């Protein structure tokens, strides 16, 4: 498996994306590009990264006299940065701080899709969950109760059948409301259990000091604990990570036990 460093993506962070910025994330094949095209009227231009296969489409749309910039992120199942796609999506959300994050989910297999939504909810509050493909779900006898889901997650939920244009006006309205602060999402935070929460609690104050708002400290703590080596270039984070291994009894066991990490060097 190849790991890319944050430095590879410098241009991403340098790019001055026009604001307000809306980013679309979601598992592969959930209808992100369909929604992107419906919002932007196919006016997107695709930016290929030199030497990379991952591309980001970018476009604009107007709603209530606000010009929104929209970015279609690569499809990912998680943000643990195990692949270039995951790393691009994570870094974009972490560093470009979209004004509104749209997480596109597939109504026919919502549970699997919510994994990514919960991870993004660790990074940003300004999130809308879009339950797409409700027409496909209906064919299978699946009906998603958006109100219940919204209460459970603490964020607005909009149901769509993007290919037929159903729910897109409501989606734009919700984007506007979250952007303008009329709707204030309050994402439910996952409780990782006593031991992990204690480790997170120890790390967060130090990370807050070090990054003073540049990176969400809880997310940074979770990255450290999960042994995310793609953060290698964030020197301050690596320093805290390495120190925390010596200082805390958790370090080694977490690093070696969590799935998907490369183990200790």
Ligand X SMILES: Nc1nc2c(ncn2[C@@H]2O[C@H](COP(=O)(O)OP(=O)(O)OP(=O)(O)O)[C@@H](O)[C@H]2O)c(=O)[nH]1
- 136 touches which of ligand X, Mg ion, none (CB within 5 to 8 A by kind)? ligand X
- 217 touches which of ligand X, Mg ion, none (CB within 5 to 8 A by kind)? none
- Closer Cβ to ligand X, 139 or 182, answer by number: 139
**Using the rule CB under 6 A, is 185 a contact of ligand X?**
no
- 26 touches which of ligand X, Mg ion, none (CB within 5 to 8 A by kind)? ligand X
How many secondary structure helices (H) and strands (E) does the chain include? 11, 7
Q: Output the smallest distance, CB 187 to ligand X, in A.
A: 22
User: What's 4's DSSP letter?
Assistant: -
CA–CA distance, 238 with 223 (Å, rounded to integer): 10
- 162 touches which of Mg ion, ligand X, none (CB within 5 to 8 A by kind)? ligand X
> Which of 57, 59, 70, 75 touches ligand X (CB under 6 A)?
75
- 135 touches which of ligand X, Mg ion, none (CB within 5 to 8 A by kind)? ligand X
Number of residues in contact with ligand X, rule: CB under 6 A?
A: 16
CA distances to 52, 127, 253 from 191, in Å = 36, 19, 19
- 260 touches which of ligand X, Mg ion, none (CB within 5 to 8 A by kind)? none
Query: What are the helix (H) ranges across the chain?
Result: 10-14, 32-40, 84-96, 110-123, 134-139, 146-153, 168-180, 194-211, 217-225, 235-247, 250-257
What character string, x for contact with ligand X (CB under 6 A) and - otherwise, covers 152-181? ---------xxx------------------
With both helix axes pointing from N to C terminus, report the angle between 168-180 and 32-40 in degrees, rounded to the nearest 10. 80
**Using the rule CB under 6 A, is 135 a contact of ligand X?**
yes
CA–CA distance, 245 with 48 (Å, rounded to integer): 38
Q: Output the smallest distance, CB 75 to Mg ion, in A.
A: 6
**Using the rule CB under 5 A, is 33 a contact of Mg ion?**
yes
Query: 90 and 42 in contact (C-beta within 8 Å)?
Result: no
Q: Which two tokens stand for residue 234?
A: 């964030």
Instruction: Give residues in contact with Mg ion (CB under 5 A).
Output: 32-33
Instruction: Give residues in contact with ligand X (CB under 6 A).
Output: 26, 28-34, 75, 132-133, 135-136, 161-163
């Amino acid at each position: 498996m190849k790991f890319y460093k944050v430095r590879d993506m410098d241009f991403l962070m340098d790019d001055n994306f026009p604001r307000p910025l809306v980013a679309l994330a979601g598992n592969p094949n959930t209808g992100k590009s369909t929604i992107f095209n419906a919002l932007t009227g196919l006016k997107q231009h695709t930016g290929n990264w030199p030497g990379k296969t991952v591309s980001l489409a970018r476009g604009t749309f107007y709603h209530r006299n606000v010009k929104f910039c929209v970015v279609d992120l690569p499809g990912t199942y998680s943000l643990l940065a195990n692949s270039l796609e995951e790393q691009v999506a994570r870094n974009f959300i972490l560093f470009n701080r979209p004004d509104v994050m749209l997480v596109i989910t597939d109504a026919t297999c919502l549970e699997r899709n919510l994994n990514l939504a919960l991870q993004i909810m660790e990074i940003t509050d300004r999130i809308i969950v879009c339950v797409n493909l409700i027409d496909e779900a209906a064919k299978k006898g699946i009906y998603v109760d958006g109100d219940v889901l919204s209460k459970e997650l603490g964020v607005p939920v909009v149901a769509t059948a993007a290919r037929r244009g159903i729910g897109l006006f409501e989606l734009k309205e919700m984007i506007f409301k979250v952007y303008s602060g009329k709707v204030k999402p309050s994402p439910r935070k996952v409780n990782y259990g006593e031991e992990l929460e204690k480790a997170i609690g120890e790390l967060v104050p130090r990370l807050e000091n070090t990054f003073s708002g540049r990176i969400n400290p809880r997310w940074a703590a979770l990255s450290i604990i999960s042994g995310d080596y793609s953060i290698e270039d964030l020197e301050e984070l690596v320093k805290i990570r390495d120190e925390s291994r010596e200082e805390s009894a958790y370090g080694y066991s977490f690093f070696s036990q969590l799935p998907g990490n490369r183990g200790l060097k």
